[in-house]
Amino acid sequence: MSVLNSLEYAEKLDQQDPLQSFREEFYLPKKDLYLDGNSLGLMSKRAETSLLELADSWKRLGIDGWMNGKYPWFTLSEKLGEMCAPLVGAKAKEVIITASTTTNLHQLVATFYKPKGKKTKILADELNFPSDIYAMQSQLQLKGLNPSEHLIQVKSRDGRLIDEQDIIDAMTEEVALIILPTVLYRSGQLLDIEKLTTEAHKRGIIIGFDGCHSVGAIPHHFSKWGVDFAYWCTYKYLNSGPGGVGALYVNEKHFGTMPGLTGWFGSNKEKQFDMEHTFTQASDAGAYQIGTPHLLSTAPLIGSLEMFAEASIEAIREKSLKLTNFLMELIQSELGEFNFTIGNPLEDTRRGGHVALEHPDAARICKTLKEVGVIPDYRNPNIIRLAPVAFYTSYVDVWHTVQILKRIMEEKLYEKFENKREVIA
């Protein structure tokens, strides 16, 4: 083992880490190394505090919590949108914290998909998360269109990555809307969002992005790039807790566009309680809310976003890249004889926040990792996703993870398990 791959070197990197103090802010599993933050982020003490504070406002204020207390409920979604906006490079009025990822996607497709003449197709990719595809198929069916004809899914050349030029080539005059992930959830490929947006607009096509696997790990510049809309969850890198509230961004150039799905929380705040049967929409991204916020699922995000403001998304990205680079270097030096393949892009500019480690026995290796103290994530057909998160994963954690994986392979500990995923992968 070289000096650069030693435990001592990992300890040195931790000592030099400017974000090291944030690790103490989180409840870390006592016996396990947690590398599944791209599925569910860990609870922070601040998230716990803000949840308890909001629950206390309900206890003390009852209905008056809507307008009083530390975090008035009536405007909490807007306040959190303002806090989240710097993470995606947006103006405060362009972001709203609301609903769930798939609900927000339904809202955005219903709003911006306007088939007309021969311009009737939605362009996506074949490696996107299934829920996104289901929503697009559903929206096509609601308009009486056959998804097999009107949903174009750009093919992957290798089953791992999507070539941006293949997406651009598919931007034909029949395409009315494009929806793509910022980061592919299996391989961790980071798409060139700016380039794809520019090319879509050259052709008069509206384009939106699913930021679930990037927001909180990677800086974006949605407003500067002219991205039309985006949506994301907050329970992964933003650490808002299981089932945490979703988020959406709408570029200000679209303000005034009638929401495809209207609901009373999309109303102009001053008119909302007039109880008129004429919808007067908000003048910003708040217009694309539908129902009353799920406040107890929203509250943890208050504390979580405070830490992002202190750390900066740029510093988080810098550490994330160093962690994944260190992990890949260890994999290459320590696991070379065990038939592993790194399936994510190696370049920093093309990689998200996790490493996609491929192996024919991936499912049972994941089961073994969990048994011996490492929490990974498995994705069909053969991917072990390992996500070292900048806030709470140390370089020593990464070093120990690879040493544990090496022992599993050397001693063939995985052979006692069936190579089949559990109900929840």
Residue list for the binding site for pyridoxal 5'-phosphate: 101-102, 129-132, 210, 213, 235, 264, 292
Query: Using an 8 Å Cβ cutoff, are 110 and 261 in contact?
Result: yes
Tokens standing for residue 102: 């798939």
Pairing of strands 151-154, 121-125: parallel
Give the separation between CA 54 and CA 160, rounded to whole angstroms: 43
Annotated binding site: 101-102, 129-132, 210, 213, 235, 264, 292
Pairing of strands 229-232, 247-250: antiparallel
